[in-house]
Structure 1
Amino acid sequence: MTQLQFNLDFDQIKAEVMQSDLNDVLKSSIVVLFNQYMEMERDKYMKNTSHERSEDRHDYRNGYYTRDLIVNVGKVTLKVPRTRSGEFSTAIFEKYQRCDKAFLLSMLEMVISGVSTRKVSKIVEQLCGENVSKSMVSELTKKLDPIVNSWTQKPLDRQYYNYIYVDAMYIKVREYHRVVSKAVYIALGVNSQDKREILGFKVAGNESQKTWNEFFESLIARGLQPPKLVISDAHEGLKAAIMEKFLNVSWQRCTVHFLRNIIQTIPKKGSKEAREHLKEIFKAPTQTISRMLKDEFIVKFEEDKKYIKAIETLDAGYEDAIQFYAEDKDTHVHIRTTNVLERLNSEVRKRESIIRIFPNEESAFRLIGAVLMDREETMDIGGKKFFYRTKD
């Protein structure tokens, strides 16, 4: 391949250095370099240099036009050579168009990471001297649609998921000139290799058995098989949907939520001993010890009217809260609560707290999906696993 060689105008670069800050120096150097490179590209195309006569001439130089190019140090304006026939074209823009793509991706990453569109606009203006409106940033985020949609339709029949965590969080969305509350359903699975995957999510009007059924149906349609255990809180609609859509599957009631429900029935004053006892019930190393601690709690406090409701609540929900004991001991600390999903929800909250109110349901789906995709990439990467298995 023919190599292009040329000499830079160092006097021009020196003059720029003496009169500019570092960023301007870099930009000016790039302009000189790229302009001269394009000039030599045209000379090669013409097979002669400027003012050189040749019998083989097949085109004529026709001046220049200006065109902007975004590079790492910002936007530069170049003098692009042209010919009369219009057949000559430089490879500079084709070669460096990835800079534009990288720049757009950086903007998207800022948005996904929780930087508001207003702040993104200011950052871009500082970097490039280019005024980028909030609406432009919002339009840019729509490029995420096909990516998020594809991710939410990934097949789920290539792995078996032993454990599935499900939960809903609430966001605010504008709808018909009103601000309404919407539920965001999220499902996370732990596969047979003990690695976590986000199975899917859905934005819906409210949390009910009907909407949970629809969410589970969408996962099953993508190939999800009934797991060994479904872990969630005790929302009535969710419980009913789990029983309907996952027959013969055990349900683990989140012990953190369950304890909270029990403790809320106890007066705060003078109840420290009772509260500590309740916590030990679900931290017990075996189911036998847990049942013993539960029975001791009932015997100890059943004569005190202040604890009647707490005992009733404990007795009614206890069996659903100890299903984790049937699984391998190394998994207990992780599968007895929905803490892993709560942490995932907090990542969404970081972005949601900046936006406060999503402009529509589509934008909520788009950005929450992007956040979840970004989070999944860092889950249990390489040889890392969710469960720490002790050697026998």
Structure 2
Amino acid sequence: MTKVSKEQLRKFIKENNLKSTEDVQAALRDLFAGTMQEMLEAELDTHLGYAKHDTKNKTTDNSRNGHSRKTLTSEYGDVEIAVPQDRKNEFEPEIVKKNQTNTVGIEKQVVALYARGVSTRDIGAHLQQLYGLDVSPTLISNITDKLIPLIKEWQNRPLQTVYAVVFLDAIHFKVKQEGQVVNKAAYMVVGIDLDGKKDVLGIWIGENESAKFWLSVLNELKSRGVEDILITCVDNLKGFSEAISACYPKADIQKCVVHQIRNSLKYVSYKDYKSVTAALKPIYKANTEDAALVELDMFEETWGKKYPLVVRSWRANWDELATFFRYPPEMRRIIYTTNLIEGYHRQLRKVTKGKSIFPTDESLTKMLYLATMEVTKRWTMRVQHWGQILSQLIIYFPDRVEKYIR
């Protein structure tokens, strides 16, 4: 492309009496429209073989000169140009395609802003301020709808055969449904594969969290190629363990200790919060399961009479709370809580906090998907100490791991 010389720029400024950015934008808009028009005229001349149109006498719909008026959105604002009409499908415009209404690559910007949780109204305001474009919320929604095939492809992609650890948890949002605002759960699954890499395995939108829905999620993971999971990390949702065992009977189940503590404190008066929390800490900080059981007995001696439901809850869930004691310290830090997936959830919350209500399940899915793509871009490193963890997993699960190690 030939650069414009300083002399030409000075002449352009003088001839158009440019004194402000608004003057520049208006002049460039006119220049853009004129340039596009000349290109269209030349294109039609080439097609017809001779000049068979009058650029000085353009009408809204003139079949004699084969033109119609068209508003084209450019980065300099909306401009109106005369577009050659299709003549019995003989002429296919190349400069401005049929039904094309813009020349600005705004789609990537719309998607990027949407991925950061910017509302459709604010995206429109941003584009108006930056480019002078009037972009409606409907257009923004239509642009982001182009993500739907990508989301479906991502959601249905094949997965690893074996995952060392899988975290399952849900976060909740308000969504409009049939004229009412209802609570919906976004079911999330994060896996750590045998290479020590983290990945989000899928996002499912359903009614309030239930073990039945989790069962359908686990069945879908199996249909996408996940044959085995060594350890599953979950909260204390009723029926969760049964759902996991139904799909992956060999999987060790680790209930989140932090969730267990929170549930325990529901039965504790506020004045005893700190004391009870401190008394529970030696249980899950013990070096062995036997030592942890001794600490649990001591807790019962001190607090059992006042808070029997706390003790009952720990003992009822003990088998799945104590799973992490079987593993080395490096693995214990990963699995004894669901902090890994909750950290991912916090990143999603940063994006969705500006949306108190989502208009549809689809709009919620689009935003969660885009936010997830941003989060997982940073998941490039292996889990810390993974080499040491993997060597012990091979010892714990020789038949289930060794044949899949590359």
TM-score scaled by length of structure 2: 0.76
Q: Is the 8 A contact 1:185 1:201 kept in 2?
A: yes
Alignment match, 1:53: none
Match of 2:323 in 1: 323
Q: CA separation in 2, counterparts of 1:359 and 1:235?
A: 28
Structure 2 residue corresponding to 1:185, chosen from 173, 184, 187: 187
* CA positional deviation for 1:103: 1.5
Alignment CA distance shift 1:133-1:30 (3 Å): closer
Aligned pair partner of 2:384 in 367, 373, 387: 387
Distance change (3 Å), C-alpha of 1:256 and 1:360: same
User: What CA distance in whole angstroms lies between the structure 1 residues aligned with 2:263 and 2:83?
Assistant: 74
2:170 corresponds in structure 1 to 168
Matches within 5 A, 1:358-373: 358-373=358-373
CA apart distance, 1:4: 7.1
Q: Match for residue 54 of structure 1?
A: none
1:21 counterpart residue number: 20
Q: Find the partner of 1:225 among 205, 224, 227.
A: 227
Distance 1:278 1:204 in 2: 35
TM-aligned CA deviation for residue 199 of structure 1 = 0.7
Aligned pair in 2 of structure 1 residues 135, 323: CA closer, same or farther (>3 Å)?
same
For structure 2, the residue ranges without an aligned partner over 5 or more in a row are 56-66, 390-406
Q: Distance in 2 between matches of 1:255 and 1:292?
A: 17
2:153 aligns with one of 150, 153, 159? 150
CA deviation profile, 1:117-167 (whole Å, cap 9, x unmatched): 11111111111212212222222221111111111011014x521100001
- The equivalent residue for 1:216 is 218
Contact 1:171 1:183 (8 Å CA) reproduced: yes
Q: 1:253 to 1:100 in 2, by over 3 A?
A: farther
3-state secondary structure, aligned to 1:236: coil
Q: Aligned partners of 1:37, 1:174: CA distance in 2, in Å?
A: 44
Identity between Structure 1 and Structure 2 (%)? 23
Which secondary structure does the structure 2 equivalent of 1:240 belong to?
A: helix
Amino acid paired to 1:256: V
Q: 2:120 touches 2:137 (CA, 8 Å); kept in 1?
A: yes
1:51 aligned residue:
none
Give the distance between the partners of 1:116 and 1:40, measured in 2 at CA: 37
1:142 and 1:44 map into 2 onto residues whose CA distance is 33
CA contact (8 A) 1:144 1:366 kept: yes
Answering whether residue 103 of structure 2 is matched by residue 108 of structure 1, we say: no
2:202 to 196, 200, 204: 200
**Judging changes above 3 Å, is the alpha-carbon distance between structure 1 residues 218 and 28 closer, same or farther for their aligned structure 2 residues?**
same
- Do the aligned residues in 2 keep the contact of 1:6 with 1:37 (CA within 8 Å)? no
> CA separation in 2, counterparts of 1:100 and 1:121?
17
Q: Secondary structure at the match of 2:350?
A: helix
Could you tell me which residue of structure 2 aligns to residue 129 of structure 1?
132
> Counterpart of 1:359 in 2: which secondary structure?
coil
Deviation at 1:16, TM superposition (A): 7.1
Distance of aligned partners of 1:45 and 1:62 in 2 relative to their CA distance in 1, 3 Å threshold: closer
1:272 maps to amino acid: K
Q: Secondary structure at the match of 2:201?
A: strand
Q: Unpaired segments of 5 or more residues in structure 1?
A: 48-56
* Structure 2 residue 336 is the aligned partner of structure 1 residue 336: yes
- Offset of 1:223 from its aligned partner? 0.6
Deviations 1:212-249 (A, max 9, x none): 21111111111112211110111113222112111121
Residue among 295, 304, 307 paired with 2:297: 295
> Structure 2 CA distance, aligned partners of 1:27 and 1:328?
69
C-alpha separation between the residues in 2 aligned to 1:116 and 1:19?
36
Q: For this pair of structures, how many residues does the alignment match? A: 370
What letter matches 2:384 in structure 1? F
Give the secondary structure class of the aligned counterpart of 1:269. helix
> RMSD in angstroms over aligned alpha carbons?
3.8
